[in-house]
Amino acid sequence: MARFTIPRDTYMGDDAISNLKDITGKKAYIVIGSNRLVKDGTLAKVEGYLKQAGIESKVFIGVEADPSVNTVNKGVAEMNEYNPDWIIGIGGGSPIDAAKAMWLFYEYPEFTFEEAIKPFNLPPLRQKARFIGITTTSGTATEVTSFSVITDNETGIKYPIADFNLTPDIAIVDTNLVLSLTPNVVANTGLDVLTHAIEAYVSTMATPLTDALAMKAIEMTVENLEKSYAEDVTARKNMHIAQNLAGMAFSNAILGIVHSMAHKTGDIFSIPHGLANAIYLTYAIEYNAKTAPAKYVEIAKQLHLQGDTDQQLVTSLIDLIKNMRKDMNIPATLKEFGVNEAEFLKRLPSLASTAVADPCTGTNPRTIENSTMEKLYMAAYYGETVKF
Protein backbone atom coordinates (compact mmCIF):
# COMPACT_ATOMS: atom_id res chain seq x y z
CA MET A 1 0.00 0.00 0.00
CA ALA A 2 1.24 3.48 -0.78
CA ARG A 3 0.15 7.08 -0.44
CA PHE A 4 0.64 9.84 -3.01
CA THR A 5 0.05 13.45 -1.97
CA ILE A 6 0.55 16.62 -4.02
CA PRO A 7 -0.97 20.12 -3.92
CA ARG A 8 -4.59 20.36 -5.01
CA ASP A 9 -3.71 22.92 -7.68
CA THR A 10 -0.49 23.70 -9.51
CA TYR A 11 -0.30 26.76 -11.75
CA MET A 12 2.66 26.80 -14.10
CA GLY A 13 4.07 28.83 -16.94
CA ASP A 14 4.70 32.49 -17.68
CA ASP A 15 2.91 34.84 -15.29
CA ALA A 16 1.41 31.92 -13.35
CA ILE A 17 1.27 34.23 -10.32
CA SER A 18 -1.66 36.03 -11.97
CA ASN A 19 -3.84 33.07 -10.86
CA LEU A 20 -3.74 34.59 -7.38
CA LYS A 21 -6.45 36.99 -8.50
CA ASP A 22 -8.92 34.08 -8.55
CA ILE A 23 -8.44 32.64 -5.07
CA THR A 24 -10.97 33.28 -2.36
CA GLY A 25 -10.14 34.48 1.12
CA LYS A 26 -9.64 37.51 3.34
CA LYS A 27 -6.07 37.98 4.54
CA ALA A 28 -2.76 36.69 3.20
CA TYR A 29 0.52 36.61 5.12
CA ILE A 30 3.36 36.71 2.58
CA VAL A 31 6.83 35.43 3.56
CA ILE A 32 9.90 36.36 1.49
CA GLY A 33 13.68 36.37 1.85
CA SER A 34 15.66 39.41 0.77
CA ASN A 35 14.55 42.65 -0.88
CA ARG A 36 15.11 41.09 -4.31
CA LEU A 37 11.40 40.47 -4.90
CA VAL A 38 10.61 44.01 -3.77
CA LYS A 39 13.17 45.51 -6.16
CA ASP A 40 12.18 43.46 -9.21
CA GLY A 41 8.47 44.22 -8.74
CA THR A 42 7.34 40.62 -8.08
CA LEU A 43 6.02 41.40 -4.60
CA ALA A 44 3.99 44.37 -5.88
CA LYS A 45 2.48 42.13 -8.58
CA VAL A 46 1.55 39.47 -6.02
CA GLU A 47 -0.03 42.06 -3.74
CA GLY A 48 -1.89 43.53 -6.72
CA TYR A 49 -3.36 40.17 -7.77
CA LEU A 50 -4.42 39.46 -4.18
CA LYS A 51 -6.08 42.87 -4.04
CA GLN A 52 -8.03 42.01 -7.20
CA ALA A 53 -9.20 38.88 -5.35
CA GLY A 54 -10.35 41.09 -2.46
CA ILE A 55 -7.59 39.78 -0.21
CA GLU A 56 -5.53 42.15 1.94
CA SER A 57 -1.93 41.20 2.69
CA LYS A 58 0.94 41.68 5.13
CA VAL A 59 4.56 40.90 4.29
CA PHE A 60 7.37 39.30 6.31
CA ILE A 61 10.71 40.24 4.74
CA GLY A 62 14.01 38.79 5.91
CA VAL A 63 14.07 35.00 5.91
CA GLU A 64 17.76 34.05 5.85
CA ALA A 65 19.32 31.13 3.95
CA ASP A 66 18.65 27.99 6.01
CA PRO A 67 15.86 29.62 8.04
CA SER A 68 16.14 29.75 11.81
CA VAL A 69 13.85 28.96 14.74
CA ASN A 70 13.96 32.69 15.64
CA THR A 71 12.70 33.73 12.22
CA VAL A 72 9.89 31.20 12.45
CA ASN A 73 8.92 32.44 15.92
CA LYS A 74 8.87 36.07 14.74
CA GLY A 75 6.55 35.18 11.88
CA VAL A 76 4.25 33.18 14.13
CA ALA A 77 3.93 36.13 16.56
CA GLU A 78 2.92 38.41 13.67
CA MET A 79 0.48 35.84 12.30
CA ASN A 80 -1.16 35.54 15.70
CA GLU A 81 -1.87 39.29 15.58
CA TYR A 82 -2.85 39.37 11.91
CA ASN A 83 -4.93 36.16 11.67
CA PRO A 84 -4.38 35.30 7.99
CA ASP A 85 -6.44 32.66 6.20
CA TRP A 86 -3.73 32.24 3.51
CA ILE A 87 0.01 31.88 4.01
CA ILE A 88 2.15 32.50 0.94
CA GLY A 89 5.84 31.61 0.84
CA ILE A 90 7.71 33.11 -2.12
CA GLY A 91 11.34 32.43 -2.94
CA GLY A 92 13.80 29.67 -2.85
CA GLY A 93 13.52 26.82 -0.39
CA SER A 94 14.42 29.01 2.56
CA PRO A 95 11.44 31.44 2.67
CA ILE A 96 8.96 28.73 1.67
CA ASP A 97 10.26 26.33 4.34
CA ALA A 98 10.12 29.12 6.95
CA ALA A 99 6.54 29.92 5.93
CA LYS A 100 5.57 26.24 6.25
CA ALA A 101 6.94 26.07 9.81
CA MET A 102 5.26 29.39 10.72
CA TRP A 103 2.01 27.89 9.45
CA LEU A 104 2.41 24.84 11.71
CA PHE A 105 3.05 26.87 14.87
CA TYR A 106 0.36 29.43 13.99
CA GLU A 107 -2.13 26.56 13.91
CA TYR A 108 -0.66 24.74 16.93
CA PRO A 109 1.10 27.21 19.29
CA GLU A 110 1.82 24.52 21.91
CA PHE A 111 3.50 22.19 19.44
CA THR A 112 7.32 21.95 19.69
CA PHE A 113 10.09 21.40 17.15
CA GLU A 114 11.00 18.20 19.01
CA GLU A 115 7.52 16.81 18.38
CA ALA A 116 7.46 18.19 14.84
CA ILE A 117 10.53 16.24 13.70
CA LYS A 118 8.96 12.87 14.44
CA PRO A 119 8.20 11.79 10.86
CA PHE A 120 4.56 12.10 9.83
CA ASN A 121 3.46 13.15 13.31
CA LEU A 122 1.77 16.51 12.68
CA PRO A 123 -1.82 17.23 13.66
CA PRO A 124 -4.17 18.21 10.81
CA LEU A 125 -3.32 21.65 9.47
CA ARG A 126 -5.73 23.98 7.57
CA GLN A 127 -7.74 24.76 10.71
CA LYS A 128 -6.84 28.46 10.36
CA ALA A 129 -5.14 28.93 7.00
CA ARG A 130 -4.19 27.33 3.72
CA PHE A 131 -0.79 27.48 2.05
CA ILE A 132 0.61 28.66 -1.30
CA GLY A 133 4.22 28.06 -2.34
CA ILE A 134 5.64 30.22 -5.14
CA THR A 135 9.07 28.99 -6.13
CA THR A 136 11.85 31.18 -7.55
CA THR A 137 14.62 28.55 -7.65
CA SER A 138 14.63 25.37 -9.74
CA GLY A 139 15.81 22.82 -7.23
CA THR A 140 14.29 22.14 -3.83
CA ALA A 141 10.68 21.97 -5.11
CA THR A 142 9.46 22.81 -1.61
CA GLU A 143 6.33 24.29 -3.27
CA VAL A 144 5.15 20.70 -3.78
CA THR A 145 6.88 18.74 -1.03
CA SER A 146 5.89 17.56 2.41
CA PHE A 147 9.14 18.84 3.95
CA SER A 148 10.47 21.88 5.78
CA VAL A 149 13.97 22.27 7.22
CA ILE A 150 14.53 24.74 10.06
CA THR A 151 17.83 25.39 11.88
CA ASP A 152 18.39 26.39 15.51
CA ASN A 153 21.15 28.97 15.08
CA GLU A 154 22.25 28.76 18.71
CA THR A 155 22.81 25.00 18.76
CA GLY A 156 23.26 24.44 15.02
CA ILE A 157 20.67 21.66 15.21
CA LYS A 158 18.61 21.14 12.05
CA TYR A 159 14.96 20.25 12.37
CA PRO A 160 13.77 18.37 9.27
CA ILE A 161 9.99 18.25 9.41
CA ALA A 162 8.25 15.72 7.14
CA ASP A 163 4.49 15.34 6.97
CA PHE A 164 1.93 15.37 4.14
CA ASN A 165 0.02 18.03 6.09
CA LEU A 166 2.84 20.39 5.03
CA THR A 167 2.29 19.75 1.32
CA PRO A 168 1.00 23.12 0.06
CA ASP A 169 -2.57 23.60 -1.14
CA ILE A 170 -1.45 25.53 -4.19
CA ALA A 171 1.92 25.44 -5.96
CA ILE A 172 2.83 28.25 -8.34
CA VAL A 173 5.65 27.53 -10.78
CA ASP A 174 5.96 30.84 -12.61
CA THR A 175 8.56 30.40 -15.32
CA ASN A 176 9.32 34.12 -15.50
CA LEU A 177 10.66 34.11 -11.96
CA VAL A 178 13.81 32.07 -12.70
CA LEU A 179 15.35 34.13 -15.49
CA SER A 180 17.43 36.05 -12.92
CA LEU A 181 19.24 32.95 -11.58
CA THR A 182 23.02 32.88 -12.12
CA PRO A 183 24.54 30.00 -14.18
CA ASN A 184 26.40 28.78 -11.12
CA VAL A 185 23.16 28.40 -9.13
CA VAL A 186 21.45 26.89 -12.20
CA ALA A 187 24.15 24.18 -12.36
CA ASN A 188 24.07 23.31 -8.66
CA THR A 189 20.31 23.32 -8.27
CA GLY A 190 19.81 21.57 -11.63
CA LEU A 191 22.04 18.68 -10.61
CA ASP A 192 20.04 18.57 -7.36
CA VAL A 193 16.94 18.09 -9.54
CA LEU A 194 18.62 15.26 -11.45
CA THR A 195 19.55 13.65 -8.12
CA HIS A 196 15.99 14.02 -6.77
CA ALA A 197 14.59 12.37 -9.89
CA ILE A 198 17.11 9.51 -10.04
CA GLU A 199 16.96 8.78 -6.31
CA ALA A 200 13.14 8.83 -6.34
CA TYR A 201 13.11 6.53 -9.39
CA VAL A 202 15.34 3.89 -7.78
CA SER A 203 13.87 4.33 -4.27
CA THR A 204 12.40 1.34 -2.46
CA MET A 205 9.24 3.45 -2.01
CA ALA A 206 8.85 4.27 -5.71
CA THR A 207 5.41 3.67 -7.22
CA PRO A 208 4.20 3.84 -10.83
CA LEU A 209 3.00 7.38 -10.05
CA THR A 210 6.37 8.60 -8.78
CA ASP A 211 8.18 6.69 -11.54
CA ALA A 212 6.27 8.55 -14.24
CA LEU A 213 7.12 11.90 -12.71
CA ALA A 214 10.74 11.02 -11.97
CA MET A 215 11.44 9.64 -15.45
CA LYS A 216 9.97 12.72 -17.13
CA ALA A 217 12.01 14.95 -14.82
CA ILE A 218 15.19 13.01 -15.74
CA GLU A 219 14.50 13.37 -19.46
CA MET A 220 13.73 17.08 -19.17
CA THR A 221 16.80 17.75 -17.05
CA VAL A 222 19.15 15.91 -19.40
CA GLU A 223 17.59 17.79 -22.32
CA ASN A 224 17.54 21.26 -20.75
CA LEU A 225 19.99 21.74 -17.91
CA GLU A 226 23.14 22.55 -19.86
CA LYS A 227 21.19 24.83 -22.19
CA SER A 228 19.70 26.61 -19.17
CA TYR A 229 23.23 26.99 -17.78
CA ALA A 230 24.12 28.67 -21.09
CA GLU A 231 21.24 31.13 -20.52
CA ASP A 232 18.77 29.61 -23.03
CA VAL A 233 15.44 31.05 -21.90
CA THR A 234 13.21 28.17 -23.03
CA ALA A 235 15.49 25.63 -21.38
CA ARG A 236 15.55 27.72 -18.17
CA LYS A 237 11.75 27.64 -18.09
CA ASN A 238 11.66 23.91 -18.81
CA MET A 239 14.00 23.28 -15.87
CA HIS A 240 11.54 25.08 -13.61
CA ILE A 241 8.86 22.57 -14.61
CA ALA A 242 11.30 19.63 -14.37
CA GLN A 243 12.20 20.50 -10.77
CA ASN A 244 8.50 20.49 -9.90
CA LEU A 245 8.02 17.01 -11.42
CA ALA A 246 11.05 15.74 -9.50
CA GLY A 247 9.63 17.31 -6.33
CA MET A 248 6.32 15.45 -6.63
CA ALA A 249 8.29 12.24 -7.13
CA PHE A 250 10.67 12.59 -4.18
CA SER A 251 8.09 14.01 -1.80
CA ASN A 252 6.32 10.67 -2.11
CA ALA A 253 9.10 8.16 -2.93
CA ILE A 254 11.73 9.86 -0.71
CA LEU A 255 15.44 9.81 -1.65
CA GLY A 256 18.61 7.75 -1.15
CA ILE A 257 22.23 7.76 0.01
CA VAL A 258 23.33 10.62 -2.25
CA HIS A 259 21.24 12.94 -0.11
CA SER A 260 22.31 11.17 3.09
CA MET A 261 25.95 11.86 2.20
CA ALA A 262 25.30 15.44 1.08
CA HIS A 263 23.35 16.29 4.25
CA LYS A 264 26.35 15.43 6.43
CA THR A 265 29.07 17.30 4.52
CA GLY A 266 27.13 20.39 3.37
CA ASP A 267 27.50 22.60 6.42
CA ILE A 268 30.82 21.24 7.69
CA PHE A 269 32.71 21.80 4.45
CA SER A 270 30.47 24.59 3.04
CA ILE A 271 29.50 22.60 -0.04
CA PRO A 272 26.33 23.87 -1.76
CA HIS A 273 23.66 21.15 -1.52
CA GLY A 274 23.26 20.52 -5.26
CA LEU A 275 27.02 20.49 -5.83
CA ALA A 276 27.53 17.89 -3.09
CA ASN A 277 24.83 15.71 -4.67
CA ALA A 278 26.45 16.15 -8.07
CA ILE A 279 29.73 14.78 -6.70
CA TYR A 280 28.22 11.82 -4.79
CA LEU A 281 25.71 10.80 -7.45
CA THR A 282 28.10 8.92 -9.74
CA TYR A 283 29.76 7.01 -6.87
CA ALA A 284 26.39 6.08 -5.35
CA ILE A 285 25.12 4.76 -8.69
CA GLU A 286 28.26 2.62 -9.05
CA TYR A 287 27.61 1.25 -5.55
CA ASN A 288 23.85 0.71 -5.88
CA ALA A 289 23.98 -0.78 -9.37
CA LYS A 290 26.15 -3.66 -8.14
CA THR A 291 23.06 -5.27 -6.57
CA ALA A 292 20.15 -3.23 -7.97
CA PRO A 293 20.93 -2.27 -11.58
CA ALA A 294 17.44 -2.71 -13.09
CA LYS A 295 16.07 0.78 -12.65
CA TYR A 296 19.30 2.51 -13.69
CA VAL A 297 19.19 0.35 -16.82
CA GLU A 298 15.63 1.55 -17.46
CA ILE A 299 16.78 5.16 -17.18
CA ALA A 300 19.70 4.56 -19.56
CA LYS A 301 17.40 2.89 -22.12
CA GLN A 302 14.83 5.69 -21.88
CA LEU A 303 17.62 8.18 -22.58
CA HIS A 304 18.78 6.04 -25.57
CA LEU A 305 22.26 5.63 -24.10
CA GLN A 306 24.73 3.18 -25.62
CA GLY A 307 25.21 -0.34 -24.25
CA ASP A 308 24.38 -3.99 -24.94
CA THR A 309 24.61 -5.23 -21.37
CA ASP A 310 23.23 -3.90 -18.08
CA GLN A 311 26.75 -3.01 -17.00
CA GLN A 312 27.42 -1.03 -20.18
CA LEU A 313 24.14 0.86 -19.86
CA VAL A 314 24.81 1.78 -16.22
CA THR A 315 28.30 2.94 -17.20
CA SER A 316 26.80 5.08 -19.97
CA LEU A 317 24.46 6.71 -17.45
CA ILE A 318 27.35 7.44 -15.09
CA ASP A 319 29.39 8.86 -17.99
CA LEU A 320 26.49 11.10 -18.97
CA ILE A 321 26.38 12.59 -15.46
CA LYS A 322 30.19 12.95 -15.39
CA ASN A 323 30.04 14.88 -18.66
CA MET A 324 27.23 17.16 -17.44
CA ARG A 325 29.26 17.86 -14.32
CA LYS A 326 32.37 18.68 -16.35
CA ASP A 327 30.52 20.87 -18.87
CA MET A 328 29.13 23.00 -16.03
CA ASN A 329 32.43 23.27 -14.13
CA ILE A 330 31.32 21.12 -11.20
CA PRO A 331 34.14 19.23 -9.46
CA ALA A 332 34.17 15.44 -9.68
CA THR A 333 35.62 14.79 -6.21
CA LEU A 334 35.58 16.30 -2.73
CA LYS A 335 39.32 16.88 -3.06
CA GLU A 336 38.86 18.85 -6.26
CA PHE A 337 36.18 20.94 -4.52
CA GLY A 338 38.84 21.85 -1.93
CA VAL A 339 37.83 19.85 1.13
CA ASN A 340 40.86 19.66 3.43
CA GLU A 341 42.22 16.10 3.48
CA ALA A 342 43.23 15.91 7.15
CA GLU A 343 39.93 17.41 8.24
CA PHE A 344 38.02 14.98 6.01
CA LEU A 345 39.87 11.92 7.32
CA LYS A 346 39.44 13.03 10.94
CA ARG A 347 35.69 13.39 10.50
CA LEU A 348 35.20 10.35 8.25
CA PRO A 349 33.92 7.83 10.87
CA SER A 350 31.28 10.23 12.20
CA LEU A 351 30.32 11.41 8.68
CA ALA A 352 29.79 7.79 7.68
CA SER A 353 27.76 6.76 10.72
CA THR A 354 25.52 9.83 10.62
CA ALA A 355 25.00 9.43 6.86
CA VAL A 356 23.92 5.81 7.38
CA ALA A 357 21.49 7.01 10.08
CA ASP A 358 20.03 9.75 7.82
CA PRO A 359 16.33 9.14 7.00
CA CYS A 360 17.13 9.09 3.25
CA THR A 361 19.24 5.92 3.67
CA GLY A 362 16.11 3.92 4.48
CA THR A 363 14.77 4.14 0.91
CA ASN A 364 18.09 3.53 -0.87
CA PRO A 365 17.91 0.48 -3.18
CA ARG A 366 20.97 -1.15 -1.58
CA THR A 367 21.67 -1.31 2.15
CA ILE A 368 24.91 0.10 3.50
CA GLU A 369 27.01 -0.39 6.66
CA ASN A 370 29.07 2.31 8.36
CA SER A 371 32.37 0.80 7.17
CA THR A 372 31.14 0.66 3.55
CA MET A 373 29.88 4.23 3.79
CA GLU A 374 33.40 5.26 4.84
CA LYS A 375 34.74 3.58 1.69
CA LEU A 376 32.14 5.35 -0.45
CA TYR A 377 33.09 8.74 1.01
CA MET A 378 36.75 7.88 0.35
CA ALA A 379 35.94 7.03 -3.28
CA ALA A 380 34.17 10.39 -3.64
CA TYR A 381 37.11 12.19 -2.00
CA TYR A 382 39.85 10.72 -4.19
CA GLY A 383 37.82 9.92 -7.31
CA GLU A 384 38.26 6.14 -7.06
CA THR A 385 36.19 3.53 -8.88
CA VAL A 386 33.68 1.84 -6.55
CA LYS A 387 34.57 -1.88 -6.51
CA PHE A 388 32.60 -2.97 -3.43
Ligand X SMILES: NC(=O)c1ccc[n+]([C@@H]2O[C@H](COP(=O)([O-])OP(=O)(O)OC[C@H]3O[C@@H](n4cnc5c(N)ncnc54)[C@H](O)[C@@H]3O)[C@@H](O)[C@H]2O)c1
Q: Which residues bind ligand X (CB under 6 A)?
A: 33-34, 36, 65-66, 91-94, 97, 136-137, 139-140, 142, 145, 147-149, 177-178, 180-181, 189
Q: Which residues contact 32 (CB under 8 A, 6 or more apart)?
A: 38, 43, 59, 60, 61, 63, 89, 90, 91, 95
Q: Which does 65 bind (CB under 5 to 8 A by kind): Fe ion, ligand X, none?
A: ligand X
Which entry of ligand X, Fe ion, none binds 167, CB below 5 to 8 A by partner kind? none
Q: Is 252 left (phi over 0), alpha (psi -120 to 50) or beta?
A: alpha
C-alpha to C-alpha distances, 387 to 93, 283, 336, 344, 377, nearest whole angstrom: 36, 10, 21, 21, 13
Cβ-contact 76, 102 below 8 angstroms = yes
User: Distance between CA atoms of 317 and 314, rounded to whole angstroms?
Assistant: 5
Q: Which does 148 bind (CB under 5 to 8 A by kind): ligand X, Fe ion, none?
A: ligand X
| Least distance to ligand X, CB of residue 388, Å | 29
d(CA 341, CA 355): 19
Q: In the window 180-199, what residues touch Fe ion (CB under 5 A)?
A: 192
247 or 293, CB closer to ligand X?
Answer: 247
Binder of residue 93, out of ligand X, Fe ion, none (CB less than 5 to 8 A by kind)? ligand X
CB of 31 to ligand X, least distance (A): 11
Q: Closer to ligand X by CB, 99 or 289: give it.
A: 99
CB of 201 to ligand X, least distance (A): 17
Q: Does 358 bind Fe ion (CB under 5 A)?
A: no
Smaller CB separation from ligand X, 267 or 327: 267
| CB 87, min distance to ligand X, A | 15
Burial 248-286 (b: 16+ CB within 10 A, else e): bbbbbbbbbbbbbbbbbbbeebebbbbbbbbbbbbbbbb
Toward ligand X, which CB reaches closer, 177 or 194? 177
Q: Which residue is nearest to Fe ion (CB)?
A: 192
3: which residues sit within 8 A by CB, 6+ positions away? 164, 252
Query: Binds 137, which of ligand X, Fe ion, none (CB < 5 to 8 A, cut-off by type)?
Result: ligand X
Nearer to ligand X, 118 or 301 (CB): 118
Residues 6+ apart with CB under 8 A from 285: 198, 296, 314, 317, 318, 321
**Residue with smaller CB distance to Fe ion, 192 or 358:** 192
Residues that bind Fe ion (CB under 5 A): 192
